[in-house]
Amino acid sequence: MLHLLLVALPIAMALYTYLLGRYRQLALWGGAAALLLDAFLCSCIPLGQPVRLLGVVLSLSGIDRLFIYVLLFTGGGVLLVARVLHQGELPIPIGLLTLGLAQGVILLDDPIAISLLLQVMALAVALATVDTPHEPLGLMPVSALMAGLKYLITTTLAGIALLLGFLMMGSFLEMPQETFYARLSLGLIAVGFGLALGVVPFHLWLPDLARHTSTGVIGLLVTLVHSVALLFLGRFSQALPRLLHAIPRSGGVLMAGAAGAALAAALLAAAQDRWKRLAAYVASCDVAAVFFAFSLGTPSGLQSGLFLTIHHGVALALLFSCVGILEWSTGRDDVAGLVGVAQRMPLVALGLVIATLSLAGIPPLGGFAGRWILYQEALAHGWGYLAPWLAASAVLLLAMVRALWPALLPTEQTVPFRQPPWPALGVLALLIVALLFLGLYPQPLLRVLAGPPPVLGIP
Amino acid sequence: MGYSSPELAIWLGFLACGALMVVFRDWRVTLPALLAVYLNLGLLFSRLPFVPQDIALGPLRLSSFGLVKVVTGLVLVSILALTAFSRRWVRTPEGEFPADEILAARLRWAARRARPTPIGFRERLAAYLLPTSTLAVLIAVTYTLAILYPLVRTPALPASPLWFYVDLSWYWLALCGLLNVLLAQEVQEVCIGLLLCIASADLLYTTLSRSVGLLAIGLLSTVSILLALGSALFSILFFLRLQRWRLPSSEELD
């Protein structure tokens, strides 16, 4: 019963906050109460005791519980920032709905049901992409509508590819001599995850969507939907060796593909002059790192991938919150708009520096702690696998220095400026501390992640 | 393989509906065809041996699972029809907003295409030549794929002509869906294409899993309905935006 309540509570509160959308404070407190109650419910569920409900098996492991807490923390932060920055009525209801479904994904073990739930989550977010209160609905730029439509199409195709991929995997496990099914399954699953997570070359929707939608909505997408999708990928990666064994050289192709995707995303990030698009390319690069870690198919690869998934959510929540505050405060998200930010909004500037350095994998931040294991594993496969990662980190670092440089320039008094609200700054401070903690003291988290890995119901 | 079996009739139904959706663009044609696809899907599900046939309609025995598909189709078509129909009542806002050069050029092109000009029988025939020839290629590709790569007809299933028709149907729906998405000129056409792809995946999933999972059925229907809602929203927003552009006059066109 507790399992069902964990999923149903945020969904019911989503409806409540949607109906109370006009009463801003009530919706905000309702959302906060739902998150706290959800955390309490999660702590009450016994670990490793599966229950059968409506024909499906629901269970919670230590790693699953950790992920639920992280989702509540990052999702809650993004929702609070979106609310205080007046980024529309929909982020809180859609965020709570997504959170409830995300917990369903974590509790379930059937890959088909999980693929479909992920699709439902992504489609729910699509409805919020056009919720921009500063722009009348009928006057939305066509490019913004095209970005939303592109996302709608991509997410549907990704869901179909995942569904078919897992079906083909079932056929392969039934007839292991038929390697055609293994090839088809691996291809469809790789394309499905690539499309859903915006990995280069399947990334075209992500920067456009990030550019045109509010940072609250894109923050929800990367912290909730993408984090849960990556956890799903991690759970699937334990069945991956069976597929890789059936297809010669497929493991190397997957790893090389992920490394190439990361390098390409870093190069594309270096060419951006708008923070939102830059953040989208950085997210794509980070997802490629998680792909690489999971495609190793080893316990340390899994541990590194799960750590990087948690880091992905926290770092991107911080990055998109900073960009959102910057946009709210100065009315622009271009790199030149950062002039004087270090003096006027030191916490926002610090947040940008910490988030970007951590996503580039620079020590002593959380990104490095996760990538260190990945670098060791890559080196074990040969310098050819490590070199793209070092190059990607170097390019990303250069892109960040180029983008952050204007922040240190003296203030232009002519640029209009608003002081950010204190709750948003509080969220930034918490996320900065979390990223520093992940980098300086990752052992407690790594210990939990070294525990029995969450599995999928693949025979 | 029986030549007068109910499966053949269902397959011909799929073929006719897919052909209508590929060749015609008018929502008055494509939406009833989409509904007919879901009706066919419901009938085909009722023919699957592992799906319990628990509803009797005279001589016809159907399954409640198939009925869920029909109801889903009805909801989807209602959403899309309401969206297409409601455009009549969307108010034109006051004032006009200039478009940039590229958009203006696109609008001129669209207006030139939409300009009512007398079309002769030969031109009308030519307009349908490309979709019709594409359709012929599509049917050939469907048959080839179903024979060369039968994903349903595996040694794990008992030999029956039903599986060949299932293979044909899911390949056909998927290819028609992709072609619709590729040739689409409106949001609604994209949505119809994606819905066909989902229906295809639904058919393949049900056949290969050889069971009726309540959660999966519910989620597949939810995905389809959310997709229809999302595309309805975008369709209306596009329409509102396009209404606010200044259309070029006939002098500007010439």
CA of A156: which chain B residue's CA is closest? B194
In this prediction, residues A104-126 reach a mean pLDDT of: 92
Q: State the pLDDT at residue A378.
A: 87
Q: State the pLDDT at residue B98.
A: 46
ipTM summary value:
0.90
Report CB contact under 8 Å: B190, A124: no
Between CA A435 and CA A354 the distance in angstroms is 8
More confident residue, B4 or A100: A100
A–B: how many Cβ contacts below 8 A?
Answer: 106
Q: What pTM did the predictor assign? A: 0.90
**B195-219 residue pLDDT tens:** 999 999 999 998 888 777 788 888 9
Residue B251 has pLDDT above 60, yes or no: no
Residue B95 has pLDDT above 50, yes or no: no
**A170-181 residue pLDDT tens:** 889 888 888 889
Of A86-95, B7-16, B110-119, which range is least confident?
Answer: B110-119
Q: Which of A145, A157, A174 sits opposite B234 (nearest CB)?
A: A145
Between CA A121 and CA A108 the distance in angstroms is 15
Q: Read off the tokens for B220.
A: 């597949």
Residue A453 confidence class, pLDDT cut points 50, 70, 90: confident
CA dihedral angle for residue B46, residue B51, residue B53, residue B57, rounded to 10 degrees: -20
CA of A126: which chain B residue's CA is closest? B230
Tell me the average pLDDT of chain A. 89
B56 DSSP β-pair partners: B61
Cα first-last separation, chain A: 26
Residue A39 has pLDDT above 50, yes or no: yes
Residue B106 confidence class, pLDDT cut points 50, 70, 90: low
Q: State the pLDDT at residue A136.
A: 65
Residue B62: strand, helix, or coil: strand
Report CB contact under 8 Å: A119, B223: yes
Q: State the pLDDT at residue A186.
A: 93
CA distances from B210 to B65, B152, B162 (A): 13, 11, 14
Residue A163 confidence class, pLDDT cut points 50, 70, 90: very high
Residue A334: strand, helix, or coil: strand
Residue B178 near chain A (CB below 8 Å): no
Q: State the pLDDT at residue A176.
A: 86
HSE at residue B108, side-chain half, CA atoms within 13 A, is 14
In this prediction, residues B99-127 reach a mean pLDDT of: 62
A444: phi then psi, degrees, rounded to nearest 5:
-55, -40
Q: State the pLDDT at residue B4.
A: 56
Angle between helices A24-44 and A91-107 (to 10 degrees): 10
Between CA A83 and CA A95 the distance in angstroms is 11
CB A73 within 8 A of CB A113: no
What is the distance of C-alpha A75 from the center of its chain? 10
Residue A101 has pLDDT above 80, yes or no: yes
Q: Mutating which of A58, A135, A160 best tests the B interface, going by the most B Cβ atoms within 10 A?
A: A160
**A260-283 residue pLDDT tens:** 999 999 999 999 989 999 999 999
More confident residue, A198 or B96: A198
Between CA B234 and CA B64 the distance in angstroms is 33
> How far B103 CA lies from chain A's nearest CA (Å)?
9
Q: State the pLDDT at residue A412.
A: 60
In this prediction, residues B162-185 reach a mean pLDDT of: 90
CB B234 within 8 A of CB A145: yes
Q: State the pLDDT at residue B105.
A: 63
What does the radius of gyration of chain B's CA atoms come to, in whole angstroms?
A: 21
Residue B108 confidence class, pLDDT cut points 50, 70, 90: low
Q: Mutating which of B227, B238, B245 best tests the A interface, going by the most A Cβ atoms within 10 A?
A: B227
Q: Which of A117, A138, A164 sits opposite B204 (nearest CB)?
A: A164
In this prediction, residues B10-17 reach a mean pLDDT of: 92
A6: phi then psi, degrees, rounded to nearest 5:
-60, -35
Residue B77 has pLDDT above 70, yes or no: yes
Q: State the pLDDT at residue B123.
A: 66
Residue B101 confidence class, pLDDT cut points 50, 70, 90: low
Residue B40 confidence class, pLDDT cut points 50, 70, 90: very high
Q: Considering only CA atoms, which of A73, A57, A155, A62 is closest in space to residue A107?
A: A57
A residues 176-195 lying closer than 8 A (beta carbon) to B: 180
Q: Which residues of B touch A138 (CB under 8 A)?
A: 93, 237, 240-241, 243-244
Report CB contact under 8 Å: B233, A174: no
Residue A222 confidence class, pLDDT cut points 50, 70, 90: very high
Q: Read off the tokens for B222.
A: 């939810």
Q: State the pLDDT at residue A283.
A: 94
More confident residue, A162 or A4: A162
Residue B125 has pLDDT above 80, yes or no: no
Residue A11 has pLDDT above 50, yes or no: yes
Q: State the pLDDT at residue B58.
A: 75
Q: Considering only CA atoms, which of A140, A308, A294 is closest in space to residue A214?
A: A140
Q: State the pLDDT at residue A177.
A: 86
**Stretch (H or E) spanning A344:** helix A341-344
Q: Considering only CA atoms, which of B177, B176, B172, B124 is closest in space to residue B145?
A: B172
CA angle, residues B188, A125, A352, in degrees to nearest 5: 130
Residue A307 has pLDDT above 90, yes or no: yes
Q: State the pLDDT at residue A234.
A: 92
> How far A53 CA lies from chain B's nearest CA (Å)?
10
Q: Which residues of B touch A152 (CB under 8 A)?
A: 227, 230-231, 234
Report CB contact under 8 Å: B216, A138: no
Residue B107 has pLDDT above 70, yes or no: no
Residue B121 confidence class, pLDDT cut points 50, 70, 90: low
In this prediction, residues A106-133 reach a mean pLDDT of: 89
CA dihedral angle for residue B215, residue A170, residue A108, residue A186, rounded to 10 degrees: -120
Residue B145 near chain A (CB below 8 Å): no
Cα first-last separation, chain B: 59
Residue A363 confidence class, pLDDT cut points 50, 70, 90: confident
Between CA B82 and CA A419 the distance in angstroms is 45
CB B209 within 8 A of CB A170: yes
Share of chain B above pLDDT 70, in %: 78
Residue A459 near chain B (CB below 8 Å): no
CA angle, residues B6, B12, B18, in degrees to nearest 5: 140
**Stretch (H or E) spanning A56:** strand A56-58
Question: Who's near B94: CB < 8 A, 6+ residues apart?
Answer: none
More confident residue, A115 or B49: A115
Residue B96 confidence class, pLDDT cut points 50, 70, 90: very low
Question: Who's near B125: CB < 8 A, 6+ residues apart?
Answer: none
